[in-house]
Amino acid sequence: MSDVLVIGAGFAGLYSALMLARRGHAVTVLEKDPEAPPADGEACFTDWVRRGVAQARQPHILLNRAARVLQDETPAVLAAFADAGANLLTAGGERVAPDERDRLFFTCSRRLPLEAVLRRAVLAEPQVELRTGEEASGLVLLNGRVRGVLLRDHTEIRAELVVDCAGRWSRSRDWLMAEGVRLDPERRQDCDFFYLTQWRRRTNADFSWGGVPGRAESAFASFRCFPADGAVFAATMVLSMHDPLKAKCRKSAVFERVFGAIPGFQRWLEGSEPISELEVTARIENCWRSTLDEKRPAVSGFVLLGDSAMHTNPTLGRGVALALLQARQLADLLERHDAGSPDLVAEFETWRSDELSVWYLSQAAANARRSEEMRHTATGGETQEPVGEQARFAAAMAIAAAEDPYVAERALELFHLLATPAEVAADLRVRKAAQSVLERGVPLRPLTSGPGRTEFERMLE
Ligand SMILES: Cc1cc2nc3c(=O)[nH]c(=O)nc-3n(C[C@H](O)[C@H](O)[C@H](O)COP(=O)(O)OP(=O)(O)OC[C@H]3O[C@@H](n4cnc5c(N)ncnc54)[C@H](O)[C@@H]3O)c2cc1C
- pLDDT, tens digit (0-9, with 9 covering 90-100), for 281-300: 888 899 999 999 998 999 99
Ligand 1 pocket check for 132: Cβ under 6 Å: no
Average pLDDT over residues 69-94: 97
Rounded to the nearest angstrom, the gap between the alpha carbon of residue 297 and the centroid of all alpha carbons in its chain is 27
Q: How far is the CA of 237 from the centre of ligand 1 (A)?
A: 20
For residues 222 and 239, give the distance between their C-alpha atoms in angstroms, rounded to a whole number.
7
- The sign of the dihedral angle between the CA atoms of 327, 328, 329, 335 is positive
Q: How far is the CA of 320 from the centre of ligand 1 (A)?
A: 8
Distances (CA, A) of 414 to 225, 358, 359, 363, 422: 20, 12, 10, 12, 10
For residues 332 and 109, give the distance between their C-alpha atoms in angstroms, rounded to a whole number.
29
Total residue count of the chain as it appears in this document: 461
Mutate to test the pocket of ligand 1, among 48, 131, 172, 320 (most ligand atoms within 8 A of CB): 320
Q: What is the pLDDT of residue 267?
A: 87
Task: Single out the residue of 180, 146, 186 nearest to residue 3, CA to CA.
Answer: 146
Q: How far is the CA of 435 from the centre of ligand 1 (A)?
A: 39
- Is the predicted pLDDT of residue 2 greater than 80, yes or no? no
Mutate to test the pocket of ligand 1, among 14, 58, 68, 119 (most ligand atoms within 8 A of CB): 58
Q: What is the pLDDT of residue 447?
A: 61
State which ligand 1 atom lies nearest to the alpha carbon of 168: 30
- Is the predicted pLDDT of residue 446 greater than 70, yes or no? no
Task: Read off the pLDDT of residues 18-56 as tens digits, 9 standing for 90 and up.
Answer: 999 999 999 999 999 999 999 998 999 999 999 999 999
Average pLDDT over residues 250-256: 93
Q: What is the pLDDT of residue 58?
A: 86
For residues 317 and 416, give the distance between their C-alpha atoms in angstroms, rounded to a whole number.
9
Q: What is the pLDDT of residue 206?
A: 80
Q: What is the pLDDT of residue 405?
A: 96
Task: Single out the residue of 204, 197, 201, 174 nearest to residue 186, CA to CA.
Answer: 174
For residues 225 and 47, give the distance between their C-alpha atoms in angstroms, rounded to a whole number.
23
Ligand 1 pocket check for 166: Cβ under 6 Å: yes
Task: Give the domains, in start order, of the chain with CATH numbers.
Answer: 3-187+285-362 (3.50.50.60), 190-281 (3.30.9.100), 385-444 (no CATH)
pTM surpassing 0.85?
A: yes
Q: How far is the CA of 10 from the centre of ligand 1 (A)?
A: 6
Task: Read off the pLDDT of residues 339-395 as tens digits, 9 standing for 90 and up.
Answer: 999 999 999 999 999 999 999 999 999 899 899 999 999 999 988 888 888 889 999
State which ligand 1 atom lies nearest to the alpha carbon of 14: 25
| Identity of the residue numbered 417 | L
Ligand 1 pocket check for 319: Cβ under 6 Å: yes
Contacts of 380 (CB under 8 A, 6+ apart): none
Identify the band that residue 129 occupies on the pLDDT scale cut at 50, 70 and 90. very high
Ligand 1 pocket check for 62: Cβ under 6 Å: yes
Q: What is the pLDDT of residue 391?
A: 86
Q: What is the pLDDT of residue 385?
A: 85
For residues 95 and 49, give the distance between their C-alpha atoms in angstroms, rounded to a whole number.
31
Ligand 1 pocket check for 60: Cβ under 6 Å: yes
State which ligand 1 atom lies nearest to the alpha carbon of 52: 47
Q: How far is the CA of 80 from the centre of ligand 1 (A)?
A: 20
- 3-7/26-31 β-pairing: parallel
Closest Cα to atom 53 of ligand 1:
55
Q: How far is the CA of 307 from the centre of ligand 1 (A)?
A: 6
Identify the band that residue 445 occupies on the pLDDT scale cut at 50, 70 and 90. confident
Ligand 1 pocket check for 213: Cβ under 6 Å: no
Contacts of 11 (CB under 8 A, 6+ apart): 114, 115, 118, 306, 319, 320, 323, 324
State which ligand 1 atom lies nearest to the alpha carbon of 307: 26
For residues 20 and 444, give the distance between their C-alpha atoms in angstroms, rounded to a whole number.
47
Contacts of 339 (CB under 8 A, 6+ apart): 2, 3, 4, 160, 161, 301
**Contact, 153 vs 117, CB < 8 A?**
no
Ligand 1 pocket check for 52: Cβ under 6 Å: yes
Tell me the average pLDDT of the chain. Answer: 94
Q: What is the pLDDT of residue 38?
A: 96
Q: How far is the CA of 126 from the centre of ligand 1 (A)?
A: 25
> In terms of pLDDT, which residue wins out, 174 or 58?
174
Average pLDDT over residues 404-423: 97
Burial of 153 (0-12, 13-18, 19+ CB in 10 A): exposed
For residues 406 and 412, give the distance between their C-alpha atoms in angstroms, rounded to a whole number.
10
For residues 311 and 348, give the distance between their C-alpha atoms in angstroms, rounded to a whole number.
17
